[in-house]
Structure formats: structure tokens, C-alpha cells
Amino acid sequence: MLRRLVNKEDTSMHDQVLAAQEGDEEAREYLISKYQPFIAKCASEVCKRYIDPKQDDEFSIGLIAFNDAIDSYVTDKGAAFLSFAKLIIKRRIIDFIRQQKSHVTLTSLDETHEEEEKMENSTEVRLSKEKFAEDMEAWYRREEIQEFQVHLQRFGLSFTEITDAAPKHVDARESAIRVASIIIGNKELRSKVLDKGRLPIKDLETHVDVSKKTLERNRKYIIALVIIMSGDYVYLKDYLKGVKV
């Protein structure tokens, strides 16, 4: 049954989001309109500059991401909606910036030929741009880890727990990665992990050549791997080389 909110200003965000998910377009429009400053702020944090809602593409990307966040938010996962939406917005904008790298660069580093001549030599220009690229990569990596930490919290896990739970031996880590890959490739198993936040050990036993004891010991680590493989974690996936994710 479609729920419609009469007085949206006096309604909790939880109920506003739920109503929008159930088809109340007025509730959706209200949320999108009310939180445009929030969307612009998220975009500005990524771009490290003021974002003009009327001119900057990054704001449009953030607006679409916010709308998608309304649809994909799961109210019983524990994370506040705005925290969840912020992750989605920042991730989409980061992706947009990466896609535009070959076309868009910051003015301070996109020197014209005349400006480059003012510098001592072309090597200085190259090194300057390389340093900027390295700094941006480091920033993206920090952002990704921060987002991953928030994502883990929705599953009652912490980054420290995952680090401590990581198998010490290479063979054991590779085995855990294979198990996570099997989960990703099986819709039912994947749903039980991502939607219910648990590792379906009994069901897994029929799909993997790993003992129940090993699955239980590596439960937290395998769940973390599934989160990484199912998400847009470019840098964290670097640690999963050799496995199709």
C-alpha cells in the first residue's frame, strides 16, 4: 500500500525515505530539494572547491547519486541515511573525476604552452603533474578506506577486526578469496551476505572445498571480501590480484 506523507516537515527522515521508496514522489522531491545544500557540500569535499549547483557537473552527479541512495538505502542496516547517501555521492563523483581524467584537469596544473615556457624546463612541469597525480591517488585511497570502514559498520564489523581476522598464511588468504568469489557468483549466497549480514556457512559447504571450521574462523574476513568485491573499491581490489572480481 502506497504511503503518502501529509506533513513532511514533521516527519522523520526514516519515514520520508521509506515513503519515497514506496512510491511517494512528493516525499522524494521534498528530500531532494531540502538536501541540495548537503549534496553540494559532499561534492565540494571531494573536489576541494566550491561547487555551483547551477553550473558544475559534479552537483548533477551528486543529485542523481542522492536519488539512487534513496532507492538503495536499507533502513535496518544501522547506518543513518545521510551517512549512507554521502558515501554514494562521494563515490559517484570520484568515479566521474576518474573518467574525466583524460579530458579534465585542474587549471593550476593544466598549463598552456606559454605558461610551461615560463617554468625552468619541461621536466619541472612533468614532475609537478606527477606529484599532483600521486597526491590525488593517495587522497582517493584514504577516502576509499574511510568509506569501507563505514560500510563495515553496517555489518557490525570494524576495520581493526578485519585486519586482525585476516589469515596469516598466503594459502589461507587465497582460499578465503576463492570462497568470497563463489559467493559473489551465486545470487542467493550473495544476498544472504549483503542483505542479511551473515555468512551462510551451511549453504556454503555444498559449494566450496573448505571445512566448516575454516569458514567459521575466517567468517569476518570473508564477509569483508564480499563487501569489497561487490562494491566500487578500486584500490582495495588491488589486494585481490589474480581473482576475477
Average pLDDT over residues 3-18: 69
The whole-number pLDDT of residue 1 equals 38
Backbone φ and ψ for 37, nearest 5 degrees, come out as: -60, -40
Q: Can you give the pLDDT at residue 133?
A: 59
User: pLDDT band at 10, cuts 50/70/90?
Assistant: low
Give the confidence band of 124 by pLDDT, cuts at 50, 70, 90.
low
**pLDDT, tens digit (0-9, with 9 covering 90-100), for 31-50:** 999 999 999 989 988 888 88
* For range 166-185, the mean pLDDT: 90
Would you state the pLDDT for residue 112?
45
Residue type, 17: V
At 62-115, the pLDDT tens digits run 999 999 999 988 765 545 788 888 888 988 998 888 777 655 444 444 444 445
* Contacting residues for 68 by C-beta, under 8 A, at least 6 apart: 88
Among 50-54, 98-102, 199-203, 210-214, the least confident range: 98-102
SS (H, E, C) 63-100: HHHHHHHHHHCCHHHCCCHHHHHHHHHHHHHHHHHHHC
Highest average pLDDT, of 108-112, 176-180, 206-210, comes from 176-180
Residue-range domain boundaries for the chain: 159-240
